Amino acid sequence: MFKVPMGFFESFKIIKKFNPDIIFSKGGYVAVPVVLAGKLLKKKIIIHESDANFGLASRITGLFANKILTSYEETGCKNKKVQFVGCPIRPEVIKGAKEEGYKITGFHHGKPTILVMGGSLGAMKINTVVWSALSQLIPHYQIVHICGKGKSAKVFSDFLLEKLKDHYVEYEYVDKELKHFYAIADIIISRAGANSLAEIETTGAPTIIVPLPGKYSRGDQLENAKAFRNKDKRRYKIIKNEKLTSRLLVETINELTKEKKRPVYKELFLEPTRKIATTIKSLATTA
């Protein structure tokens, strides 16, 4: 917290020198001094909240914002400054190719593919449960597992991973490959970060959401998961972290195999970015 005053003075100097017409903030504590300095310099301010509920930083910066943009329609709906636009995604996410995904993984069309993601840093709880369920999953599914840096099953057995490679492939981190993994995914298992969920929605794939527990966060993932599930209760299932077991995971996966991927118009998911750009331009041209 002691860094906020220092950040305010640094922000004040930068904003005064750069002299922007508008300040756009995506939240986080680093945004607070920037927005406060901008308001003091009479700059127009737009903030975007990715999560289903406002974090402390967004609640503070929202007091000084001209517009508050949200990813979920129900977020802050009573505030007149709030405008629902959706969650912007990276355009390349919708450009994945199935054939490239199968080529990278060595998989094929013959069996359903499960994509497991634990967020940018991985999730040992999800990893451990997936590993313990492999003997039940491998006869029926192909699994792409993004486990997080330093969380690979290689610490247990390189030999085992080599034996499983026709059915199970593991990556500590992926970048450009992810869009192709999305393309081949028939079922996705993921944490409930707002950006991850926004990208998952573009796939139309049935999804098991395991939100980060409230004791490790401000509860934003729990709220994100609920809001996301409400979009398609048949295809989106929530398993709480403390209730996640290999048995429940396998049962839920088998249940979701009855649901096919939902047809999606991928270009529609670029609309939030366009709406944000339009709002910024509109505010920039008003007195």
pTM of the full structure: 0.91
**pLDDT greater than 70 at residue 2:** no
Helix (H, G, I), strand (E, B) or coil at 233: coil
Q: Is the torsion defined by CA of 28, 216, 269, 200 positive or negative?
A: positive
**pLDDT greater than 60 at residue 205:** yes
Q: Which element (helix H / strand E) includes 252?
A: helix 246-256
Number of domains in the chain: 2
Note whether 54 and 164 are same-domain residues: no
CA distance 183 to 172: 19
Residue 75 main-chain phi, psi, to 5 deg: -75, 120
Read off the pLDDT of residues 241-263 as tens digits, 9 standing for 90 and up: 999 999 999 999 999 999 989 98
Note whether 66 and 96 are same-domain residues: no
Note whether 166 and 65 are same-domain residues: no
Note whether 73 and 101 are same-domain residues: no
DSSP E strands, the chain: 22-25, 44-49, 67-70, 82-84, 113-117, 142-146, 168-171, 187-190, 207-209, 236-238
Note whether 74 and 179 are same-domain residues: no
Arithmetic mean of pLDDT, 94-110: 96
Terminal-to-terminal C-alpha distance of the chain: 35
Note whether 10 and 146 are same-domain residues: no
Note whether 67 and 100 are same-domain residues: no
Arithmetic mean of pLDDT, 71-81: 85
Note whether 146 and 71 are same-domain residues: no
| Domain of residue 152, CATH code | 3.40.50.2000
Domain that holds residue 218: 92-268
Residue at 67 is within a domain: yes
Question: Residue 17: CB partners within 8 Å, gap ≥ 6?
Answer: none
Note whether 59 and 176 are same-domain residues: no
